Amino acid sequence: MANSTATVVATASLRSIRVTPQKARRVVNMIRGQRADEALRIAKFSPQVAVSEDLFSLLNSAVANAKQKNPAIRDASELWVTEALVDEGVTMKRYRPRAQGRGYQILKRSSQISVVLSDDKNYRKPSKAEARKAAAKKVEAATTEGEAK
């Protein structure tokens, strides 16, 4: 964990990558929960070449974002991949000519990949209900403080 008491959370995302989500999930599932330096190694040497190059650059971007947020972070070994998501992107529809004037549809799928790095291995984003409760407490504390003055 970094020297500061606050948890550093850095995100990075890629959109419209021309790789099917199914293939992207195979690599992303391997890096989820790993240290960032280990995740970089996995992404670099993964046999899914189409995904691994993009994922490697995405992880490097997330590490750079974390260093920008907190200069106390020296390298990727201090960070953990706490979230890694692959969502379906835009699907392009193309047609392949077939016999007797027909055309069969070909779907060219794309992916959206998001990565969240944190210096706390067990970090998780608060749910909407938890966020609402925290906001309500903050408002209540501010109003009672205002009344006390």
- Say how far apart CA 14 and CA 77 lie, in whole Å: 22
The string of pLDDT tens digits covering residues 103-139 is: 999 999 999 999 999 987 777 777 788 888 888 888 8
Residue 93: CB partners within 8 Å, gap ≥ 6? Answer: 105, 106, 107, 108
Residue with tokens 């691994």: 52
- Select from 75, 66, 76, 81 the least CA-distant residue to 29: 81
List, in order, residues 6 or more apart from 120 with CB less than 8 Å away: 1, 7, 80, 82
CATH superfamily of 9-148: Ribosomal protein L22/L17 (3.90.470.10)
Going residue by residue through the chain, which has 149 residues, state the pLDDT in tens, using 9 for 90 and above.
444 456 778 899 999 999 999 999 999 999 999 999 999 999 999 998 889 999 999 999 999 999 998 888 888 888 999 999 999 999 999 999 999 999 999 999 999 999 999 987 777 777 788 888 888 888 888 888 767 66
Evaluated on CA atoms 19, 66, 120, 60, the torsion sign reads positive
